[in-house]
């Protein structure tokens, strides 16, 4: 871990690295041998599997603003789950979804739906470019 970071009651697996200026909120679980690069934001209700990579400036979202604005009630937030060996590119945004094992999310992508097939995804909204 490289200081300064903001870690709030999260769990970080063995052999994982967290870069500077990262915020990982309470209840987040980071698997083993993951790398979280600088300026990433991982909000509550996020789970990362083993050997995941989160690049610079990647953002996770748990509130879909379903009430027309920020949910004042955390019960309206939704979880995000990444499988093993998922790489998230620079400045990607991950909404509350489930992503299967062995996926690459391109830089600047916006993931709005579950990903159930290994592959490379990019764009806004993110789409499958190539199977792995």
| Average confidence (pLDDT) per 10 residues, the chain, 132 residues | 87 97 97 98 98 98 93 93 98 98 98 98 98 94
pLDDT for 80: 98
pLDDT for 3: 78
Domain spans of the chain?
A: 6-131
pLDDT for 72: 87
Is the CB of residue 65 less than 8 Å from the CB of residue 97? Answer: no
CATH architecture of structural domain 6-131: 3 Solenoid (2.160)
Q: How many angstroms from the chain centroid is the CA of residue 35?
A: 11
Token pair in block for residue 88: 């998230």
Q: Beta strand 35-36 with 17-18: parallel, antiparallel or unpaired?
A: parallel
| pTM score, whole prediction | 0.95
């Amino acid at each position: 871990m490289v200081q300064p970071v903001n870690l709030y009651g999260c769990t970080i697996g063995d052999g994982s690295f967290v870069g500077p200026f990262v915020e990982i909120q309470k209840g987040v679980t980071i698997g083993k041998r993951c790398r979280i690069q600088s300026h990433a934001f991982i909000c509550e209700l996020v789970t990362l599997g083993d050997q995941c990579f989160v690049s610079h400036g990647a953002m996770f979202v748990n509130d879909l603003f379903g009430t027309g604005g920020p949910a004042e009630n955390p019960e309206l937030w939704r979880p995000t789950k990444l499988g093993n060996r998922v790489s998230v590119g620079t400045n990607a945004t991950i909404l509350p979804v489930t992503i299967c094992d062995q996926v690459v999310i391109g830089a600047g992508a916006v993931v709005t739906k579950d990903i159930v097939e290994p592959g490379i995804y990019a764009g806004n909204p993110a789409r499958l470019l190539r199977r792995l």
